[in-house]
Amino acid sequence: MCGIVGIYNLYNHQPVEGETIRKMLAFLRHRGPDEFGMYLHERVGLGSARLSIIDLSSGQQPITNEEGTLWIVFNGEIFNYVELRPELEARGHRFSTQSDTEVILHLYEEHGPDCLQYLNGQFSIAIWDEREQSLFLGRDRLGVRPLFYTVSGDSLIFASEIKALLADRRVQASIDPTALDQIFTYWSPLSPRTVFENIREIPPAHYLQARPGDIQIKRYWQLQFPFDPKHNGAASPRHIHQIADYLDELRELLVDATRIRLRADVPVGAYLSGGLDSSLTAAIIRKFTSNRLDTFSISFEDADFDESPFQRKMASLLGTDHHVVHASNKDISRVFPDVIWHTEVPVLRTSPVPLFLLSRLVRENGYKVVVTGEGADEFLAGYNIFKEAKIRRFWARQPDSHGRPLLLSRLYPYIRSLSGSGDSYLKAFFGAGLLDVESQNYSHAIRWRNTARTKRFFSADLQRSLQTDNHEGGLIDYPKDFLQWSSLSQAQYLEITIFLSQYLLSSQGDRVAMAHSVEGRFPFLDTRVVEFCNNLPPDLKLLGLTEKYLLKKLARDFLPSEIWQRPKRPFRAPIQYSFFNDSSPDYVHELLSQEWLKKSSLFSPQAVEQLLRKAKDGKKLSETDEMALVGVLSTQLVYHQFVDDFRQPIVDESEKIRVYEGK
């Protein structure tokens, strides 16, 4: 795992200054503290900050091919590099390292951009072709690893994190109103937008090809689901006959996906949440490998969020060395500014904070790599939002039914306004747009509408700018076959492309783990597992209201019943009492003050003051108000850290950087 940066002069041969690359790398030291390298050519500069995991002795970057005509910097892991290398050697490619990075380079030499089709991994890649004078940037299918870029003057500037772009003094940060509007609806900007104007991400499953005077971005992979087979919600005899085959294939794929994610020249640990997914991947490691296994968990002082009894049970069952970080309310508010510095985007939840603390615990115990269970809920239908959409469609067939909407009260016991509400409230909340069953966003319309209520805190200036903004790039990218998929597949697509890729793998994934130089690895996001799950009959994922049906059948062979039969519990963290307690941090009051709200001009001082008064008085905030509180505060932090008072990096002149000069 690494951080990568680069500058490509699109229109001239003006040399890239090595000092600028050095400053960019200084901002990414946390991503790769082990080694630093640069390649400088008359029109391009590449940089790498390396976290050494594979081929510790000879995998230093940048890496070149035999002729010195291709140069690569790479962030991530290619898990099938062991299988790819012999094929390349058979074609005459000569290797100088044992690294997965060099495999990518020779694969690109052989196939060009189509090399991405062969990779099973998590990556952002930059390859300079000296002969073609071209730059190739590629990103993994689901967006596990980040890659941002901007064009300033005549230069294309790219980096693993936005702060590294800002190290180039030609790049200035300003808040993008449309992106902020998206965050306060979808929880994240819609790719390729970021929260900053004129700074974009390369979307998941895309690559960028830059040549003199020209930039093109192309998709190389797309999530696909079968056409709707018109399932009736119960396993048909055909499916019952095939369940054993599906189960065997899932077991084989998941075991191998987990096994190859243990490929490393450093120890690999595992997160243990106490739920089905992380427990299963940890159990697979225990059963099918001889690796030593340390497990890592989070506990909370608030029992509403704490799952430590289940974590301890699994650790004891697996016989692991188990480590726990305790996330108190005060801890959450104390490190929240550091978390936002790393997410580089406003958030509507405090959930990234405990994961930030957890990755610090991992690093303190000498680990660089952890296996985690992300992706199972999205690809095997584990979330309540899938059940919600199914119940609403069932209700829509008899919209006057009194009993059908009551099924919804079972889904969200952790949201008081819903779990303790009566019939009329449930019908009002979930009944909006009930009959719009042909709508593309039917499954997510309630969530997005509820989240969008937080926009009532927007300032008049922000609202005016949104009215005049043309919302370029602000639409969801629906595939052409979208409406021919099953309703569950449609819901999964939205959850995967927006929530998983844009929020979960970023703000709760890469950014808070790499803040402490820790790499997460995700067996459920293995390309083979993803495509297998997407092609499953919907009722083998969500059977009636039983989530992750096939995975639970598999888990019986590995886990105790009290783990695999547990109802799905979303990962959440305290909000109101984290920021308003007997020792609330000064930054909370300062950034939410009338003065600072007027300075950013993004939120209404009067509306925010009413929210603060309610929070300070100890009145229990609603779910929407808590989202608004975190959203406003984190936006103010983004504005303060990146727009108003951005600090240039401290360059450690004593750090050794390998410098390679182009011919």
pLDDT level of residue 52 (50, 70, 90 thresholds): confident
- List the structure tokens of 176: 């993008």
Average pLDDT, the chain: 93
Q: Which two tokens stand for residue 139?
A: 């990103």
Tell me, what's the pLDDT at 73?
97
pLDDT tens column, 2-24: 899 999 999 988 889 999 999 99
* Predicted local distance difference test score (pLDDT) of residue 436: 96
What integer pLDDT is reported at residue 237 of this predicted model?
46
Asked if residue 155 lies in contact with residue 562, where contact means CB atoms within 8 angstroms, the answer is no
pLDDT tens digits for 393-447?
999 999 999 889 988 887 877 665 665 556 777 788 899 999 999 999 999 999 9
Render pLDDT for 128-145 as a digit per residue (tens, 0 to 9).
Answer: 999 999 999 999 999 999
Out of 305-309, 316-320, 522-526, 564-568, least confident range = 564-568
Domains of the chain: 2-174+201-224 (3.60.20.10), 237-379+516-564 (3.40.50.620)
- The answer, yes or no, to whether the previous bond of 113 is cis (omega within 30 of 0) is no
pLDDT at 229 over 70: no
Task: Map tokens 């803040």 to a residue.
Answer: 515
Q: What is the pLDDT of residues 527-543, one digit of tens each?
A: 999 999 999 999 999 99
Closest CA to 573 of 282, 331, 340: 331
Q: Rounded to an integer, what distance in angstroms lies between the CA atom of residue 76 and that of residue 512?
A: 15
Number of residues assigned to the chain: 663
pLDDT, residue 59, reads 83
User: What pLDDT shows up at residue 473?
Assistant: 44
Least confident of 335-339, 361-365, 620-624: 620-624
Query: In the prediction, which pLDDT does 13 show?
Result: 82
User: Of 375, 356, 311, 436, nearest to 144 (Cα)?
Assistant: 375
Residue 377, pLDDT > 90, answer: yes
* Whether pLDDT at 232 is above 50: no
Which pLDDT score, from 0 to 100, does residue 421 have? 57
Determine the angle formed by the axes of helices 423-431 and 384-396, rounding to 10 degrees.
Answer: 100
pLDDT score at 414? 63
Mean pLDDT (whole number) for 366-393: 97
Task: Note the Cα 207 to chain centre separation in Å.
Answer: 18
Q: What is the pLDDT of residue 418?
A: 63
Q: Which band of pLDDT confidence, cut at 50, 70 and 90, is reported for residue 472?
A: very low
Tens digits of residue pLDDT in 56-111:
777 899 999 999 999 999 999 999 999 999 999 999 999 999 999 999 999 999 99
Q: What are residue 546's DSSP bridge partners?
A: 543
Is residue 23 within 8 Å of 39, Cβ to Cβ?
no
Residue 645, pLDDT above cutoff 50 = yes
Higher pLDDT, 290 or 590: 590
Tell me the average pLDDT across 556-584.
Answer: 91
Q: Which amino acid is it at 554?
A: L
What is the identity of the amino acid at 341?
A: W
Question: Minimal CA–CA distance to 149: which of 188, 194, 201?
Answer: 201
Following CA atoms 649, 651, 652, 656 in sequence, which dihedral angle do they give, to the nearest 10 degrees? 120
Pick the closest to residue 599 from 649, 561, 663, 645 (CA basis). Answer: 645
pLDDT at position 167 = 97
Proportion of the chain in helix, strand, coil states, percent, rounded to 5: 45, 15, 40
Rounded mean pLDDT, 485-507: 98
Report the share of the chain in percent with pLDDT over 90.
84
Q: Structure tokens of 506?
A: 């970023």
Looking at the predicted structure, is the pLDDT value of residue 218 above 80?
yes
Q: Which band of pLDDT confidence, cut at 50, 70 and 90, is reported for residue 563?
A: very high
Confidence band, pLDDT 50/70/90 cuts, at residue 663: low
Percentage of the chain modeled with pLDDT above 70 = 95
Triad 273, 274, 276: Cα angle to 5° = 100
pLDDT digits (tens, 9 = 90+) for 273-329: 999 999 999 999 999 988 889 999 999 988 889 999 999 999 999 999 999 999 999
Structure tokens given for 411: 């889904």
Phi/psi for 18 (5° steps) reads -60, -30
pLDDT score recorded for residue 342: 98
Residue 196, Cβ density class (10 Å: 0-12 exposed, 13-18 middle, ≥19 buried):
buried
Q: Is the pLDDT of residue 499 over 50?
A: yes
CA atoms within 13 A on the CB side of 190: 17
pLDDT in the model for residue 411? 85
Q: How confident is the model at residue 547 (pLDDT cuts 50, 70, 90)?
A: very high
pLDDT of residue 570: 84
